[in-house]
């Protein structure tokens, strides 16, 4: 289909994929337009983000952090002629929704705090906190002008700039294991409500420090 473009991004594009990595594909096209992605990668190893062209146009308007990611490290696997997404990425403005994104992270932390007072899964809630922490670190890296989008690199790059210790960096990287394990259906022992609430406070601190970075 000439209206469909497919871009590779993420660890496979960066060249640092491992046994836990998916092949991340961005597929852009109008509803009903399809392409056979099995020719590009094994079907059981693909993680696909699909957008229509009007959605991409709207995302370009606010400098979507996701599109910043694709612009920095993505590469096209299938393009229109002339290329359409490449042209849009070339005119991508600075990301304009940092405050809204930080608000959403804070809401996630509040939800986990509230969930810990009832019937809940500690591992699941830690996985949720890990996701919020990683995305806050990705946003922070972008704000300091050193964008990184990997699994652990954002913590390593950003946290020292925010006053966190080397031990903190290791802890946040270990926290993300809960996210990976949740995806794989593995169970990690959690020290109950106290561990969850400790991480609620630590992730809230990370978000607060990212919020202090200049826009």
Segment 61-69 mean pLDDT: 98
Q: What is the pLDDT of residue 53?
A: 96
Per-residue pLDDT, averaged over 164-176, amounts to: 96
Question: Is there a single domain that holds both residue 173 and residue 193?
Answer: yes
Comparing 202 with 47, which gets the higher pLDDT?
202
Q: What is the mean pLDDT of the chain?
A: 91
> Which tens digit of pLDDT belongs to each residue from 133-154?
999 999 999 999 999 999 999 9
Same domain, 129 and 77: no
- In the chain, pLDDT over 90 holds for what percent of residues? 72
End residue of a domain, out of 74, 90, 106: 90
Domain boundary among 42, 60, 90: 90
Centre a 10 Å sphere on the Cβ of residue 106 and count the other Cβ atoms it contains: 17
Tell me: do 156 and 123 sit in the same domain: yes
HSE-up of 202 (CA within 13 Å, CB side)? Answer: 21
Contact status, residue 49 vs residue 24, Cβ threshold 8 Å:
yes
The H-or-E segment that residue 48 falls in is strand 46-51
| Both tokens assigned to 92 | 């991508």
Is the pLDDT at 18 greater than 90? The verdict is no
Same domain, 24 and 120: no
Torsion of CA 36, 40, 44, 50, to 10 degrees: -60
Judgement on whether residues 110 and 84 belong to the same structural domain of the protein = no
Name the residue range of residue 48's domain: 5-90
- What is the count of structural domains for the chain? 2
Higher-confidence position of 32 and 23: 23
Q: Which residue has the higher pLDDT, 119 or 126?
A: 126
Q: What angle do CA 6, 66, 88 make, to 5 degrees?
A: 60
Q: Are 86 and 62 in contact (CB under 8 A)?
A: no
pLDDT band at residue 45 under the 50/70/90 scheme: confident
- Bond before 175 cis per omega within 30 degrees: no
pLDDT of residue 1: 45
pLDDT tier at 157, thresholds 50, 70, 90? very high
User: Are β-strands 46-51 and 23-28 bridged in parallel, bridged antiparallel, or unpaired?
Assistant: parallel
125 within 8 A of 196, measured Cβ to Cβ = yes
Strand partners, 124: none
38: which DSSP letter?
Answer: G
The larger pLDDT score, comparing residue 202 to residue 22, is at 202
Q: 126 and 62, same structural domain?
A: no
């Amino acid at each position: 289909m000439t209206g469909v473009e497919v871009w590779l991004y993420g660890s496979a594009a960066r060249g640092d994929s491992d046994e836990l990595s998916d092949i991340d594909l961005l597929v852009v096209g109008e509803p009903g337009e399809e392409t056979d992605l099995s020719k590009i990668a094994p079907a059981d190893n693909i993680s696909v983000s699909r957008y229509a062209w009007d959605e991409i146009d709207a995302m370009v308007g606010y400098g979507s952090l996701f599109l910043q990611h694709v612009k920095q490290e993505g590469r096209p696997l299938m393009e229109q002629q002339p290329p359409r997404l490449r042209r849009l990425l070339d005119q991508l403005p600075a990301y304009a929704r940092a405050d809204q994104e930080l608000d959403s992270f804070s809401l996630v932390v509040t939800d986990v705090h509230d969930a810990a007072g009832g019937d809940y899964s500690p591992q699941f809630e830690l996985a949720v906190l890990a996701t919020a922490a990683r995305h806050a670190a990705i946003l922070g890296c972008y704000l300091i002008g050193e964008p990184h989008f990997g699994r652990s690199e954002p913590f390593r790059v950003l946290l020292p700039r925010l006053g966190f210790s080397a031990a903190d960096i290791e802890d946040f990287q270990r926290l993300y294991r809960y996210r990976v394990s949740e995806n794989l259906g593995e169970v990690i022992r959690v020290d109950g409500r106290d561990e969850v609430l400790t991480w609620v406070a630590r992730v809230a601190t990370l978000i607060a420090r990212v919020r202090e970075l200049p826009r």
